[in-house]
Amino acid sequence: MKPASGPPIPINLVERVRSAQSIVVLTGAGVSAESGVPTFRDAQTGLWTNYRPEDLATPEAFQRNPRLVWEWYAMRREKVLTVAPNPGHRALVAMERVVREFLLVTQNVDGLHQRAGSRQVCELHGNIGRTKCFQENRVIEQWVDDGQVPPRCPQCGGWLRPDVVWFNEALPKAELIRATSASRRCQVFFSVGTSAMVYPAAGLSQEAFEARAVVVEINPQPTPLTERAHHFLQGPSGVILPELVRAVWGEQAVP
Ligand code: OAD
């Protein structure tokens, strides 16, 4: 089956995916690019052009300028509310429905996989739609909006912050264990829309290699993973993922 944008999906890959009992898909910001959400390595746009994510997404930056960091995330939250999942997100929902054991491990914090209908989602870097107390590290559902920016924790009065993993912060332990153990027992591992440079997420493909899984990369550009991957399907995930689902499970499986 010839994908609309590139070489056909190799038949040996089609057969391996079709027969796989356990599949892990790792996604990065590239999966949301076709929904209009900028990736991390894209230049910042608009009023944020003078900042780099690395300078804003850290506990130190938040302590230095809590208002600036809160407002950057508020802008990104607003942006995410204006976009919709794309065919790549929907193709992963279709895959989850037909594969016996499927886990979607995402580095993204935009919640678009869940909005598309994915249920088995492991959020390694948190979710921009959730807020937690900076002091107590507990998710806070409701707080008084008294105009303070950032708003204050109703329990301890400390600052509230987005429930996302910042640079120099540990990933949520349970999620990382879940992602690692799934990568160790899958037959096919997809790395989709990620520059494969940020660990420990970027280390999951090594777990899959050691489990003798087929490792497939989907990305318009090569990454540090490309030369080791068994397959490099070059192109946008919004095109390639639906083509992959069509080639493996037929037209009726494509959402
Ligand atoms: P990056 O911005 O590093 O990489 C985005 C990748 O998506 C690049 O390899 C692009 O080539 C690719 N890409 C662009 N458009 C695409 C498309 N339409 N389809 C498929 N791929 C496309 O984003 P991540 O790899 O997700 O961590 O970054 C990983 C982590 O670095 C983020 O989760 C964040 C950041 O630090 C934290 O915030 C903790």
Q: Is the pLDDT of residue 7 over 80?
A: no
Measured CA to CA, the distance from residue 215 to residue 20 in angstroms comes to 12
In the annotation, is 89 catalytic? no
CA distances from 145 to 40, 62, 155, 202 (A): 30, 19, 14, 38
Q: Identify the CATH number of the domain in which residue 156 sits.
A: 3.30.1600.10
Q: What is the pLDDT of residue 38?
A: 84
Q: Identify the CATH number of the domain in which residue 223 sits.
A: 3.40.50.1220
Quick: pLDDT tens for 100-156: 999 999 999 999 999 999 999 999 999 999 999 999 999 999 999 899 999 999 999
DSSP 7-46: SPPPHHHHHHHHH-SEEEEEE-THHHHTTTPPPSSSPP-G
Q: Is the pLDDT of residue 82 over 80?
A: yes
| Residues written for the chain | 255
**pTM, to two decimals:** 0.94
Q: What is the pLDDT of residue 77?
A: 94
* Nearest residue by C-alpha to atom 9 in ligand 1: 195
Higher pLDDT, 2 or 34: 34
Q: What is the pLDDT of residue 46?
A: 59
Residue 106 shares a structural domain with residue 46: no
What are 74's two structure tokens? 């508020």
199 phi and psi, to 5 degrees? -95, 160
Which range marks the domain in which residue 226 is found?
11-37+85-125+171-253
Residues 6 or more apart whose CB falls under 8 angstroms from that of 52 comprise: 44
Residue 140 shares a structural domain with residue 234: no
Atom of ligand 1 at shortest distance to CA of 169? 39
Active-site position among 89, 113, 125, 231: 125
Report CA(239)–ligand 1 centroid distance (Å): 17
Q: What is the pLDDT of residue 3?
A: 44
Quick: pLDDT tens for 16-70: 999 999 999 999 999 999 999 988 776 666 566 677 777 889 999 999 999 999 9
- When pLDDT is cut at 50, 70 and 90, the band that residue 168 belongs to is confident
Atom of ligand 1 at shortest distance to CA of 165? 39
Q: Is residue 27 within 8 Å of residue 193, measured between CB atoms?
A: yes
Residue 103 shares a structural domain with residue 223: yes
Residue 27 shares a structural domain with residue 49: no
Q: What is the pLDDT of residue 48?
A: 62
* Nearest residue by C-alpha to atom 21 in ligand 1: 193
Q: What is the pLDDT of residue 8?
A: 83
Residue with tokens 């707080």: 143
Report CA(156)–ligand 1 centroid distance (Å): 36
Q: Parallel, antiparallel, or unpaired: how do β-strands 126-133 and 121-123 relate?
A: unpaired
Quick: pLDDT tens for 185-229: 999 999 999 999 999 999 999 999 999 999 999 999 999 999 999
Quick: pLDDT tens for 154-163: 999 999 999 9
Report CA(40)–ligand 1 centroid distance (Å): 6
Q: What is the pLDDT of residue 52?
A: 79
Q: Is the pLDDT of residue 1 over 70?
A: no
Q: Within a 10 A sphere around the Cβ of 146, how many other Cβ atoms? A: 7
Residue 147 shares a structural domain with residue 239: no
Residue 69 shares a structural domain with residue 154: yes
Q: What is the pLDDT of residue 94?
A: 97
